[in-house]
Amino acid sequence: MKIRCPKCSWEPDGGEYWQCHCGHIWNTFESIGRCPSCHFQHEYTQCVPHAGGCDKSSPHLDWYEGLDKIIEELVEEVLAEQDVYQLRK
């Protein structure tokens, strides 16, 4: 799965560019936006201008390209399992 800024298409290079309000600095894409120190779930992720990106914030999940398709497949899988379950009843 590709990760890129929804606004400018900058791709994170694995650097630790994000700082939580608790002061922890980490690579937010390693933990899907959750701070490893205080476990706060960050809904928005800002792009990184000094690493070549823009300065806009976007919902964290919007950074994952192809996520819609993966969720679609997961939903289909769950529905298929439910079908099997209902057949067994």
Interface contacts to Zn ion, rule CB under 5 A = 5, 7-8, 10, 20, 22, 24, 35, 37-38, 40, 47, 53-54
CA distance 32 to 18: 12
Query: What is the distance between the alpha carbons of residues 63 and 47, in angstroms, rounded to a whole number?
Result: 10
DSSP string, 62-76: GGEETHHHHHHHHHH
Q: How far apart are the first and last CA of the chain?
A: 37
Shortest spacing between CB 51 and Zn ion, in angstroms: 10
- Coil vs helix vs strand at 78: helix
Cβ at position 82, least distance to Zn ion in Å: 37
Smallest distance, Å, CB 23 to Zn ion? 7
